Amino acid sequence: MRYSGNRSMNLQVFTNVLKIFYQIYKEHIKLKKLITEHRLDAVISDNRYGLWSKKIYSVFITHQIIIKCPPALRFLEPVLRGITGFFIGKYHRCWVPDVKEGDNLSGDLAHKRLLPSLKFIGPLSRFAHLTGTSYEKKYDVIATLSGPEPQRSIFEKLIIGQLNGTELKGIVVRGVPGESASNQNGVVIHSHLNTEKMYDAIMSSDVVLSRPGYSTIMDLAALGKKAVFVPTPGQTEQEYLAGMLKKRGLFYSESQHEFKLDAALTKANEFSGIKIAPNPSLLKDAVQKLLSRI
- Could you tell me the domains of the chain? 7-122+281-292 (no CATH), 128-268 (3.40.50.2000)
The pLDDT of residue 102? 87
Give the residue-averaged pLDDT of 30-51.
Answer: 96
Strand-pairing partners, residue 58, are 43
Amino acid identity of 128?
Answer: A
For the chain, give the mean pLDDT: 92
Q: Which residues of 248-269 are buried (b: 16+ CB within 10 A; e: fewer)?
A: eebbbbbeeeebebeebbeebe
More confident: 203 or 2: 203
| pLDDT higher than threshold 90 for residue 210 | yes
The pLDDT of residue 12? 67
How many angstroms separate the most distant Cα atoms in the chain? 62
Alpha carbon distances (Å) from 35 to 27, 31, 43, 287, 293: 12, 6, 9, 20, 16
Predicted confidence (pLDDT) per residue in 137-177, tens digit: 999 999 999 999 999 999 999 999 999 989 999 999 999 99
**Cα–Cα dist 201/289, whole Å:** 38
Q: Judge contact between 91 and 116, C-beta under 8 A.
A: no
What share of the chain has pLDDT > 90, as a percent? 76
Give the residue-averaged pLDDT of 232-248.
Answer: 96
Amino acid identity of 101?
Answer: E
Question: Where residue 106 falls among pLDDT bands split at 50, 70, 90?
Answer: very high
The pLDDT of residue 284? 95
Strand-pairing partners, residue 227, are 208
**Cα–Cα dist 77/280, whole Å:** 33
